[in-house]
Chain A
Amino acid sequence: DTGVSQDPRHKITKRGQNVTFRCDPISEHNRLYWYRQTLGQGPEFLTYFQNEAQLEKSRLLSDRFSAERPKGSFSTLEIQRTEQGDSAMYLCASSLDGKSYNEQFFGPGTRLTVL
């Protein structure tokens, strides 16, 4: 399977714990995006990378959230001191520059439940 993969698929944690999610983009895709989707809502943009550079961060990305893409390949999203409001599906997407339209391909998501 050469699509976007995310790990883990499900994560249950207690309030106050730190969690880290991983995203592996489609090979050779240079852009990588993180979104958050809560029940009954559309995905909300969090941040994106072009290669290893983090180019944009949404105001939704509080200080407790940090994302990295150290070698321009996979990315991690860490949430520190989780809160119940962080419960959501965290989606990763990737795209390839070089065209007038850059289709974003989404992974299956990581579902986070904070107890």
Chain B
Amino acid sequence: QKEVEQDPGPLSVPEGAIVSLNCTYSNSAFQYFMWYRQYSRKGPELLMYTYSSGNKEDGRFTAQVDKSSKYISLFIRDSQPSDSATYLCAMSEGGGADGLTFGKGTHLIIQP
């Protein structure tokens, strides 16, 4: 079993839909939880990070962390075709200063 599990998809939804992406993990030492977006043949870019359990909202994006269930989610509201990309969850024990542990990534397609 990998430390971080993420469904690779592809996940295809119509424009305007609410998208739900999620990851599960096994290492209870993880304290920081991140979502990165990666376009084809590009490096990942950080969307959001959350410390410990709770919710965080940034525009159309909401991140949720439930440490008791070892489950994290990213919600995208009013999805746009430009949101089509691979979404990677990542986790860290030490504030991102150490090496990150990534999920496999979910390939998201927003249909116009």
Contacts and interface: CB of A to CB of B under 8 A. Distances in A.
B103 A31 contact: no
B46 A48 contact: no
Contacts of A101: 32, 49, 51, 95-96
Interface residues of B, number: 26
B10 to A, nearest CB: 11
Interface of A: 4, 31, 33, 35, 40-48, 56, 58, 91, 93, 95, 97, 99-109, 111
Contact of A40 (B32, B41, B104): B104
Given A4-B43, A101-B51, A42 B6 contact: yes
Interface of B: 4, 6, 8, 32, 36, 41-46, 49, 51, 88, 90, 95-105
B49 A43 contact: no
A103 B45 contact: no
Contacts of A35: 99-100
Given A40-B105, A91-B43, 13 more contacts: A41-B104, A42-B6, A42-B105, A48-B98, A56-B99, A58-B99, A97-B97, A99-B95, A101-B49, A101-B95, A103-B49, A106-B43, A111-B41
14 contacts: A31-B97, A41-B105, A42-B105, A43-B88, A43-B102, A45-B101, A56-B98, A56-B99, A91-B44, A95-B96, A101-B49, A103-B96, A108-B41, A109-B42
A105 B95 CA distance: 14
A113 B25 CA distance: 31
Contacts of A43: 44, 88, 100, 102
Given A40-B104, A106-B44, A108-B42, A45 B99 contact: yes
Nearest to A43: B102
A45 to B, nearest CB: 3
B56 to A, nearest CB: 12
Given A42-B88, A103-B46, A106-B44, A95 B97 contact: yes
A105 B44 CA distance: 8
Contacts of B42: 108-109
